[in-house]
Amino acid sequence: MSEFALKFSHSATADTGAFKLLELPSDLSKLIESNIDSPPRHALTIKGNPDDDAVLCTADKTYTIRSVVLSNSVIVATPGEDGSFSTDGVPIGSVNVRDQLNEILELVPSIPRLHKLDALLRGKEYEGQEDDDDMYADDPANGDGKFTYEEARETLQASDDEMDRGLKKRRVLIISGELRPIAPSYLNAILELLLTHLVSLSLKYDSAPVDALCSALEDGYDVRRDVCKQVMAWFGDIIAGEWCMDKTAVVREVGLGLLRPYRDESVPLSDFLVKWRKSVGDTFEPEVSLDLLSGNHLSQIDALKEPPITVLTYFPSSQLPIDPAARFTDLFLTRPRWKADEIAPFLADIVVDAKERDKLLLKYTRAVTDAEGVWYTARAKYNG
């Protein structure tokens, strides 16, 4: 058995608290091991302001960092001046004790924390080419308020891939490096123009020439080419100069644009569907389905009508609190009980997977079964 001398380092006092032990999940461990003998392909970055809980980001995932207290202390030791470690990790010679740890840092998969974007980009909506020059003209000091893509990468607690997907989902343009959320009405106008020109120019929706469409919108409606291309990339793939449109995504966005005005009032479902089908045209009418708007509306029966009819109200999950307790509070203030298929879409953006969603339902709701099936109602108290 090997013998070695155990010594306390002269820098033990200075080193106290300088070491952290990080436990890696299997997928992250494999990623690091794959880069041991080659230059690292992706950096690991810890993000967070002083008042934030820190997260660790890879190229495509975000992990919450949380402390777990150990029942037994762990000694941090390094070889002494006359010591070293063998290839199998056995100490040789003397060993210096540098620190002792009473906790480890655990990494837990997390949703990207992009909610700050809404506040950072408030008032910066892009409504068309005419506002390019006068966005900051009335108040030149506002020029310092620009929020760029690079600033977003540095400050937002999300991996690069997740941030790009978040910008796409929130319909945020990148114009000269600056982030500008597109006005919903302007986005709807561009999409309807694209659908109209696909038909009028006899273009196939899955292989439409990008330049032809962008030129038509620029010449006839002053739509910037870079804006047009970004919108097209949100709703399909651009390959070799051709746009393969995701017709379902386009039809869904047009439907959302038509539903947004009905936040404080209801619209009859039948009237809404007629208007939606007319907006997308005969070619794409078969794609229209209320299921596409899941997580963005409430439907109910208006019993005061004769006969009773189904009406819709705009109710987007994206504008609910991201804190689970607060979100469930809002949901149950809106409705005292929910069916599983009704409440699930309003939880999708605050959970990593269905397993985590079910844990939240177990924590914050009670399941009640009747002749109509399973309903979720609020618990008497919320424990944050």
Classify residue 326: in a domain, yes or no. Answer: yes
Q: Residue 92: what pLDDT?
A: 63
Regarding whether 369 and 272 lie in a shared domain, the answer is yes
Q: In which domain, by residue range, is 364 found?
A: 268-378
Regarding whether 244 and 287 lie in a shared domain, the answer is no
Classify residue 258: in a domain, yes or no. Answer: no
Conformation bin of residue 329: beta by default, left when phi > 0, alpha when psi is -120 to 50? alpha
**Token pair 């002083």: residue:** 50
Regarding whether 244 and 168 lie in a shared domain, the answer is yes
Q: Point out the domain boundary residue: 61, 95, 110.
A: 110
Regarding whether 128 and 148 lie in a shared domain, the answer is yes
Q: Is 245 helix (H, G, I), strand (E, B) or coil?
A: strand
Regarding whether 120 and 106 lie in a shared domain, the answer is no
Residue 70 CA to residue 23 CA, distance in Å, equals 12
Binning pLDDT at 50, 70 and 90, where does residue 230 land?
very high
Regarding whether 127 and 47 lie in a shared domain, the answer is no
At residue 351, does pLDDT exceed 80? Answer: yes
Q: Residue 14: what pLDDT?
A: 63
Regarding whether 229 and 139 lie in a shared domain, the answer is yes
Which DSSP string do the residues of 322-380 spell out, in sequence order? SSHHHHHHHHHHH-SEEEHHHHGGGTGGG-SSHHHHHHHHHHHEEEEEETTEEEEEE-S
Residue 235 CA to residue 252 CA, distance in Å, equals 10
Could you give the strand order of the β-sheet that contains 267-268, starting from the edge strand earlier in sequence?
Answer: 267-268, 309-314, 297-302
User: How many beta carbons lie within 10 A of that of residue 186, not counting itself?
Assistant: 19
Classify residue 237: in a domain, yes or no. Answer: yes
Q: Residue 278: what pLDDT?
A: 93
Q: Which residues pair with 311 in a beta bridge?
A: 268, 300
Phi, psi values for residue 95, rounded to 5°: -130, 130
Q: Is 63 helix (H, G, I), strand (E, B) or coil?
A: strand
At residue 261, does pLDDT exceed 80? Answer: yes
Alpha helices per DSSP H over 79-182: 116-120, 149-155, 160-169
Q: Point out the domain boundary residue: 110, 128, 158.
A: 110
Classify residue 341: in a domain, yes or no. Answer: yes
Taking each helix axis from N to C end, the angle separating 225-234 and 184-200, rounded to the nearest 10 degrees, works out to 90
Regarding whether 131 and 72 lie in a shared domain, the answer is no
At residue 142, does pLDDT exceed 60? Answer: no
pLDDT tens digits along 55-81: 999 889 999 999 999 888 888 887 776
At residue 225, does pLDDT exceed 70? Answer: yes
Q: Residue 132: what pLDDT?
A: 59
Regarding whether 220 and 105 lie in a shared domain, the answer is no
Inter-residue contact 67 to 88 (CB < 8 Å): no
Residue 151 CA to residue 57 CA, distance in Å, equals 16
Which DSSP string do the residues of 79-95 spell out, in sequence order? E-TT-EE-TTS-EES-E
**Token pair 């155990």: residue:** 6
Residue type, 2: S
Question: Into how many domains does the chain fold?
Answer: 3
Residue 122 CA to residue 172 CA, distance in Å, equals 12
Q: Point out the domain boundary residue: 220, 248, 276.
A: 248
Classify residue 256: in a domain, yes or no. Answer: no
Classify residue 154: in a domain, yes or no. Answer: yes
**Token pair 């990339």: residue:** 233
Classify residue 31: in a domain, yes or no. Answer: yes
Q: Is 159 helix (H, G, I), strand (E, B) or coil?
A: coil
